[in-house]
Structure 1
Amino acid sequence: MVLWALLVGLSFPVVGWISELPPLLLTALRFAIAALALYGLARRAPDWRPSPVAFALYAVMGLCLAGFFGAMFWAAHRATALSMATLFVSVPLLAYCLGLAARVERLAWRLPSILALGAAGALGLAWADSRSEGAGLRFGLGEAVFFLGCVSSALYPVLSKWGLMIRLLSPSPAVRTFWSLAIGSLLIGFVGLMLEPVSSLRQMTALDALLLAYLGLFSSAMTFWLQQRATNELSPGAVTAYSYLIPFVSMLLLFWQAPRQIGWAWLPGSLLVIVAIVLLLKRGSATV
């Protein structure tokens, strides 16, 4: 999951290099590339063809992916960056609470404490980043829609763990990743066709196509496969908690590109995130 956080964190500057193209259709293409990359690996599993009930669960998981990315793109121009970063911090805690409801989490004090510590650190990094941009924290329609997207994101690992627990989904991470991405690609693409002009994709350059292929292979196929692989061993709250490392990775990239922006404001959040991840790693090694 540390590798997962590194890949996700490194994908943000790559997204910024792509030309201004329809975001939903780009995401659908990105997920389609990821699904195609995993097809050969998924097909090797003996149970790669899901039952009708399992397919319905994969459809709900794909809907979760479509819901999060759709909400994110819709809210991008209606909510402040600080508000969205703050709301995204709620995903691990939401996953833990939803996991309790689905009985895939255990009621204890240690994991929620680690999640709260990591959330405080991520909020500290978001606050430090917002100081230079002058972004304010508020809650309006855009924030409400993005929060629903965060709920969808938190529900994805819970459904994966629940499907594994009742032996409905394949134990193969590749199979689970393939079907959720394939269905998610269809759902996001359907929404994109209704809301975005397909003709604008003609402006895609060769560099855009290469970057999109990179995002599909590494930032989607690899990251979702790693998440599904971790789901075999970790609870939903623990899996999503590693997302607290993403702003830390983005901070390191910022310092590499603009060293003058290094300041003491980044220190408290960074230390809290590092401590939370170390505690998660110790907790994980203790349960193996």
Structure 2
Amino acid sequence: MGELSRAHLGMLLWALLVGLSFPVVGWLGALPPLLLTALRFVIACAGLIWLVRGEAAFLPRGGQWWLYGLLGACLAGFFGAMFWAAHHTTPLAMATLFVSVPLLAYLLGLPLGVERPGWRLPAILALGALGALGLALAEARGAPAGLAFGAGEAVFFLGCIASACYPVLSKWGLARGWLPASAAVRTFWSLACGALLVGVAGLALEPPSRLLGLGWRDALLIVYLGLGSSALTFWLLQRATAVLSPASVTAYGYLVPFVSMLLLLVQAPSRLGFAWLPGSLLVLLAMGLLFRQGRREARG
């Protein structure tokens, strides 16, 4: 199996893990979200230690620190914006705005030289965004309520820009030799910087005493989220970034609502209907075209 195929298969696993993590987050009690995210990142770093031990390029040197700081700020910016916006807008509005991330990654990557000008990839991304939006509307039963653009939507859109910047900056740093070849090392330090920034924000905005209500069940779920939904997913993303373009990597986010649909099929099949079909077909078509586009570029 070639490196390109492994990258695509890894991102398929990424979409599955991210899609499965949303129900797990819903099982957690009323815990402070920023401090909870920082704790997840710390656990993720602890889990990555066995991958990065012995790496010659483990300790950042010189300018690598500021680049890791920017990557950590991207993570902190996205999760901070997401948690704040969750109290000021609707899930449908957030899902609608999130489909812009691959197109944002493409536009941000063009001036940095990590995306190729052309029409095929933007067209594929637009097709996938349309399908993901269709799935989001189907999950909300087609209700248009909550699509107005206010403060909550503006803050979450800034978070989407931060999310798009993460693979763009990673690819840019790799292309210039400023980041190590090891995906585990890149993942470790970006999560470590993100944990520091999110943790500082959490200590300033949330009472740490709320973590005292953490039960053993919550602790197990947080460990799972730290290892499976943070360490593994960001490692898969960093590994794929070395092979695929930032827009192609983030395009796998279109599959997350598709995974949610499959979960709904298992849990409540009666809720599924024809409304889910158009979005599903468009997402699957876009991902197939994306894989074909990657193979074409690899041959070129």
Instruction: Report deviation, 1:285.
Output: 3.1
Contact 2:89 2:146 in 1 (8 A): no
Matched with 1:284 is 294
Percent of paired sites with the same residue: 66
Contact 2:80 2:198 in 1 (8 A): yes
TM-score relative to the length of structure 2: 0.94
> Structure 1, residues 49-76: CA drift from partner, whole Å, max 9, x if none?
1112011100010000000000000000
Matched with 1:140 is 150
SS at match of 1:131: coil
1:266-285 aligned at under 5 Å gives the runs 266-285=276-295
Matched with 2:73 is 63
Which amino acid in 1 is paired with 2:218?
Answer: D
SS at match of 1:52: coil
Q: Which runs of 5+ in 1 are unaligned?
A: none
Q: Which of 241, 248, 252 in structure 2 is aligned with 1:231?
A: 241
Matched with 2:56 is 46
1:105-124 aligned at under 5 Å gives the runs 105-124=115-134
Contact 2:103 2:247 in 1 (8 A): yes
Q: 2: CA distance between counterparts of 1:184 and 1:128? A: 34
1:49-198 aligned at under 5 Å gives the runs 49-131=59-141, 135-198=145-208
Instruction: Report deviation, 1:205.
Output: 0.6
Q: Which of 20, 27, 46 in structure 2 is aligned with 1:36?
A: 46
Q: Which runs of 5+ in 2 are unaligned?
A: 1-10
User: May I ask how many residue pairs the two structures share in their alignment?
Assistant: 288
> Structure 1, residues 110-131: CA drift from partner, whole Å, max 9, x if none?
1111100000000101111112
- How well do the aligned residues superpose, as a CA RMSD in angstroms? 1.1
> Structure 1, residues 204-246: CA drift from partner, whole Å, max 9, x if none?
1101000000000010000000000000100100000010000
SS at match of 1:107: coil
SS at match of 1:105: coil
Matched with 1:11 is 21
Q: 2: CA distance between counterparts of 1:73 and 1:166? A: 34
Contact 2:45 2:191 in 1 (8 A): yes
Instruction: Report deviation, 1:134.
Output: 6.8
Q: Which has the larger displacement, 9-18 or 39-48?
A: 39-48
Q: Which has the larger displacement, 31-40 or 182-191?
A: 31-40
Contact 1:81 1:135 in 2 (8 A): no
